Amino acid sequence: MRPLPKFFIDQMKLEYLDQIMTIEQVCFPTAWPRQVFEMELKSPRSFTRVSKLGDMVVGYVVAWTVYDEGHILNIAVLPEFRRMGIGEDLMTDCLDYFSRSHAKYALLEVRTSNIGAIKLYEKLGFKSIGIRRGYYNDTGEDAIVMMLTIK
């Protein structure tokens, strides 16, 4: 039997941004501009991590903590590496960080059509707490707001 690939989590770095921009463009109808990642890398309130396989970035997460809230802003995994636990690992790492930062709850928005992401968040214990109508400017789609109480 072939050994499973070894993914590991690393700090996001400027040198990863070319790879991250490629993933971002594949994963979202409207990609974050590179400058947004650059700003997040400089911001003291940002939590930015990548999942790597050797030198290759296969996924990433970007989040903030503000007072007692942790907010997940962006998470993506390259399509060919999905359903291998990478998204769950990145989220778990992020939730551990929220817990260490004394956040009391985690919040995120997700497109109503994004069943895979919704299932991931539900697996981690997030619950839907509301809808933001027309939240996504590109498609006009609603966002489901999901929350997890941090223990």
Ligand X SMILES: CC(C)(COP(=O)(O)OP(=O)(O)OC[C@H]1O[C@@H](n2cnc3c(N)ncnc32)[C@H](O)[C@@H]1OP(=O)(O)O)[C@@H](O)C(=O)NCCC(=O)NCCS
Q: Report d(CA 118, CA 9) in Å as an integer.
A: 22
88 carries an active-site annotation: no
Residues that bind ligand X (CB under 6 A): 27, 75-77, 82-88, 110, 114-117, 119-120, 123
For ligand X, the nearest residue by Cβ is 87
Choose between 23 and 150: whose C-beta lies nearer to ligand X.
23
CA angle 122, 125, 126 (to 5 degrees): 65
135 carries an active-site annotation: no
CB of 76 to ligand X, least distance (A): 4
Choose between 22 and 102: whose C-beta lies nearer to ligand X.
22
Q: Report d(CA 37, CA 21) in Å as an integer.
A: 9
Bridge partners for 147 per DSSP: 107, 127
Choose between 44 and 135: whose C-beta lies nearer to ligand X.
135
Q: Report d(CA 122, CA 22) in Å as an integer.
A: 27
CB of 132 to ligand X, least distance (A): 13
